[in-house]
Amino acid sequence: MIWIGRNLLRHCSLFGGVVSFSLLMMVGGCGASSQGRTVLPITIDPASLTLPGDGASLTTHDAAIRGIASILVKDLGLPVPEQVTVYVYASRPVFEQGLIQDAHVSPVRAAELSDFAIGIGKRRLMLFNDEAYEVKGREWLRLVAHELSHVSQIELAQGEGRAEQWLAEGMAEWVAFTVLERLGLDTMDHRRALARAGIKSHAALVAARLDLDTLGSPRGFTVRHLREGSLPTYQLAFLMADYVIKRDGFPKIVQYFASFAERQHRLDNFRRAFGQSLAEFEREILGHLKSITR
């Protein structure tokens, strides 16, 4: 999932009717809720994946997902399902209805999510509120890469919301920034510097209490980012994932997510993958975060 500031969303004009994808199917004409809803069934053939040279050609959902999938599979060793259905909604109310009808989210949760989220990655599904990005540029590609990372995590774990949520979000950001760097649109070092600056006054860091157990559940993560600010909470998750990836290597994270296909025990799977308890990691990462934000 990825959020957007309410001001940005409010100031964006509506995106409607200018999509022209090769696999486009407009579903409309049978009521207000189906207008502004586009369904894109995308087939990703592993044999035909081609690494994109840069981001210039990745300006439609179809092209972006294929290009980013190539980077995930070929550069990062991540699995991507052969069939992904992408739902693109033209406005927040249509997005909210889509979360209920297409992603089977409860109406209460759909109202909450659609208020701050602009993208959701589910099992072989991606849902986007398209009014956030009229220009299909760098930040939009970051959003698509972030959500495709969640789709890949769900393939690895064979289910949704199983692994530590802060690590799922942090890894999705790490992958998205890696994709931007690969496309020549940004650098990891720049994103690290932004994140370090962004979390300096983050409540959890100031209080020296990250409470990773709460940040580890999807609900707890949502509560925390609504209370403590979306941007610094995602920046915190990114820096923690970045630390683990530097320390243990990216394949270890892949292995960790895959372990949930065998057994669904959050704390035990964490200990097995990283050789330490969550509490031990929390002490270690707090010291690291303090040192890099000093």
Chain residues 214-273 in contact with Zn ion, contact rule CB under 5 A: none
What's the first-to-final CA gap in the chain, in angstroms? 30
Task: Return the number of the residue (172 or 285) whose C-beta is nearest Zn ion.
Answer: 172
Task: Return the number of the residue (69 or 241) whose C-beta is nearest Zn ion.
Answer: 241
Chain residues 22-81 in contact with Zn ion, contact rule CB under 5 A: none
Shortest Cβ 163–Zn ion spacing (Å): 12
Shortest Cβ 224–Zn ion spacing (Å): 14
Shortest Cβ 150–Zn ion spacing (Å): 6
**Per DSSP, what are the bridge partners of residue 121?**
126
Tokens of 256: 């960790």
Q: Regarding beta strands 125-129 and 2-3, do their DSSP bridges make them parallel or antiparallel, or are they unpaired?
A: unpaired
**Interface with Zn ion: number of residues (CB under 5 A):** 3
Task: Return the number of the residue (66 or 142) whose C-beta is nearest Zn ion.
Answer: 142
Shortest Cβ 169–Zn ion spacing (Å): 5
Q: Rounded CA gap, 66 and 68, in Å?
A: 6
The number of residues making up the chain comes to: 294
Shortest Cβ 56–Zn ion spacing (Å): 26
Contact between 119 and 147 under an 8 Å Cβ cutoff? The reply is yes
Backbone angles phi, psi at 291, to 5 degrees: -70, -35
Shortest Cβ 107–Zn ion spacing (Å): 21
| Amino acid found at 13 | S
Tokens of 230: 């979306």
Task: Return the number of the residue (1 or 289) whose C-beta is nearest Zn ion.
Answer: 1
Task: Return the number of the residue (1 or 254) whose C-beta is nearest Zn ion.
Answer: 1
**Per DSSP, what are the bridge partners of residue 127?**
87, 120
Q: Which residue is nearest to Zn ion (CB)?
A: 1
The C-alpha torsion from 152 through 153 and 158 to 161, rounded to 10°, is -140
Q: Rounded CA gap, 61 and 141, in Å?
A: 9
| 1 touches Zn ion by CB under 5 A | yes
Chain residues 147-206 in contact with Zn ion, contact rule CB under 5 A: 169, 172
Task: Return the number of the residue (89 or 166) whose C-beta is nearest Zn ion.
Answer: 166
Tokens of 126: 């991606």
Distances (CA, A) of 59 to 62, 178, 239: 8, 18, 29
CB within 8 A of 66, min separation 6: which ones? 42, 44, 49
Task: Return the number of the residue (126 or 204) whose C-beta is nearest Zn ion.
Answer: 126
Shortest Cβ 23–Zn ion spacing (Å): 25
Shortest Cβ 216–Zn ion spacing (Å): 14
Distances (CA, A) of 173 to 147, 186, 261: 9, 13, 22
Task: Return the number of the residue (36 or 96) whose C-beta is nearest Zn ion.
Answer: 96
Q: Contact positions toward Zn ion, by CB under 5 A? A: 1, 169, 172
